[in-house]
Amino acid sequence: MPNVTVIGAQWGDEGKGKIVDWLSSRADIVVRFQGGHNAGHTLVVDGKVYKLSLLPSGVVRGKLGVIGNGVVVDPHALLAEIELMREQGLSVSPRNLRIAENVPLILPLHSALDKAREQARGSHKIGTTGRGIGPAYEDKVARRAIRLCDLAEPETLDWKLDELLLHHNTLLAGLGAETFDKKTLTDSLLSLAPKLLPFMEPVWDLLDEARKSRQRILFEGAQAVMLDVDHGTYPYVTSSNTVAATAASGAGVRPSSVGFVLGIAKSYTTRVGEGPFPSELHDEVGQKLGERGKEFGTVTGRPRRCGWFDAVLVRRAVKVGGIAGLALTKLDVLDAFDEIKICSGYKLDGKSITSFPSSPAAQRRVEPVYEVMKGWKSTTYGAKSWADLPAEAIKYIRRIEELVEVPVTLLSTSPERDDTVLMSDPFEE
């Protein structure tokens, strides 16, 4: 059976949670393969709101959830999220959640370093969430990370903490921040071990058995392509690769397992934090998009910057992210506009360019080139079929398809999971 990989096609916050939740009804297993608890997915089910940061969205459907080795896990954040979901009536236990034994852990010192660095950057701040994601990935690459499997071996934990503290306390002291005590960290980790180790498993074996038995796997990405550490608006990016290819390495499966790649894009564009944003609107139109779309970050609570749909950015995400089809969300937010614009090209220093430049200085000088389309008078909110859509809304969707060079295969018309228009089932592609 084919698998599906879901990734963001803009700067995150595109509504991946609802789409993954909706698709998980067709899946057997849902896998998170990168990122940390700086990502947030909001699901609305029968009027009840679930906010997930680490748990795979499939837990709301009662599916088996897997956290892959490409994720960095804050143990305290994970356990708090599990407890919150239990309070909301969901069952989360080792029976329906498995965590890769080699997943790196985020420790309090990572968050402390993240915040101290951001403060030291002053006007050049990146806009991190301060949750320690970047420093945790640095430790992974530098081969000094504490991993979940280390909690089962106190001797290993002992010498690894020596190395970790030598590095981090030196940096923290240099930044004028408080340093960390080895015994306090050791005691904390050992107290967490009995709560976390029951979830541990070599998940690549589990996923390979699922492949052999032809189970459907849904790979769930965090953030989005334009926040990819290689392909995004560097340095205003996250600390992991967010493209679909990462699903294989971040879960421990063969590259062919990635399957159909579905990119999620809003019908307009938003961004949280710092960094270039060519189609950003600083006027009443941008404010109206934010108000109608309730644009606040799921994790940070920060208001999102808003602008018109940027087809140049999404087309780049399609190419480098391996996207085969788009799920277009929040079309109903555009119901109230007499005219709607699409950024279909750029100008840089007076010259037309066809792609987003890599240079941060050039990115900030980019000027959007807009196409103007007529708005629609009737509502798209809650539409469940193509026939429910106004003619002008269909024209808008068709133009997006032409510009980004892939079809729109799913359309979301409200936060409710059933308000979804399906043009083609990604699991059948």
Q: Give the number of other Cβ atoms within 10 Å of residue 78's Cβ.
A: 25
Q: How far is residue 263's CA from residue 10's CA, in Å, rounded to a whole number?
A: 9
Cα 394 → chain centroid: 27
Q: Annotated catalytic residue: which of 37, 63, 110, 140?
A: 140
Answer yes or no: is 412 a known binding residue. yes
Answer yes or no: is 413 a known binding residue. yes
Q: Give the number of other Cβ atoms within 10 Å of residue 188's Cβ.
A: 13
Answer yes or no: is 266 a known binding residue. no
Taking the alpha carbons of 410, 412, 416, 421 in that order, is the dihedral positive or negative? Answer: negative
Answer yes or no: is 102 a known binding residue. no
Answer yes or no: is 304 a known binding residue. yes
Q: Annotated catalytic residue: which of 37, 41, 110, 168?
A: 41
CB 405 within 8 A of CB 318: yes
Q: How far is residue 246's CA from residue 252's CA, in Å, rounded to a whole number?
A: 10
Answer yes or no: is 330 a known binding residue. yes
Answer yes or no: is 143 a known binding residue. yes
Answer yes or no: is 16 a known binding residue. yes
Answer yes or no: is 294 a known binding residue. no
Q: Indicate the residue type of 108.
A: P
Answer yes or no: is 358 a known binding residue. no
Q: How far is residue 332's CA from residue 409's CA, in Å, rounded to a whole number?
A: 17
Answer yes or no: is 210 a known binding residue. no
CB 140 within 8 A of CB 132: no
CB 140 within 8 A of CB 36: no
Q: How many residues does the chain have?
A: 429
Answer yes or no: is 298 a known binding residue. yes
Answer yes or no: is 39 a known binding residue. yes
Write out the E strands in 132-248: 200-201, 217-220
Residues 6+ apart with CB under 8 A from 415: 15, 18, 42, 44
Answer yes or no: is 42 a known binding residue. yes
Answer yes or no: is 232 a known binding residue. no
Active site residue 13: yes
Answer yes or no: is 259 a known binding residue. no
- Reading the block at residue 245, the tokens are 């290819």
Answer yes or no: is 316 a known binding residue. no
Distances (CA, A) of 228 to 40, 67, 109: 16, 19, 24
Q: Annotated catalytic residue: which of 13, 21, 74, 114?
A: 13
Answer yes or no: is 12 a known binding residue. yes
Looking at residue 325, the DSSP 8-state letter turns out to be: E
Active site residue 349: no
Answer yes or no: is 25 a known binding residue. no
CB 196 within 8 A of CB 235: no
Answer yes or no: is 414 a known binding residue. yes
Q: How far is residue 152's CA from residue 190's CA, in Å, rounded to a whole number?
A: 9
The backbone torsions φ and ψ at residue 422, rounded to the nearest 5 degrees and listed phi first, read -105, 115
User: Cα Rg for the chain, rounded, in angstroms?
Assistant: 22
Answer yes or no: is 227 a known binding residue. no
Q: Give the number of other Cβ atoms within 10 Å of residue 418's Cβ.
A: 10
Answer yes or no: is 299 a known binding residue. yes
Burial of 20-58, coded b for 16+ CB within 10 Å and e otherwise, reads bbbbbeebbbbbbbbbbbbbbbbbbeeeeebebbbbbbb
Binding-site annotation, residues for substrate? 298-304
Binding-site annotation, residues? 12-18, 38-42, 129, 143, 223, 238, 298-304, 330-332, 412-414
Q: Which residues are catalytic, by number?
A: 13, 41, 140
Binding-site annotation, residues for Mg(2+)? 13, 40
Binding-site annotation, residues for IMP? 13-16, 38-41, 129, 143, 223, 238, 302
Binding-site annotation, residues for GTP? 12-18, 40-42, 304, 330-332, 412-414
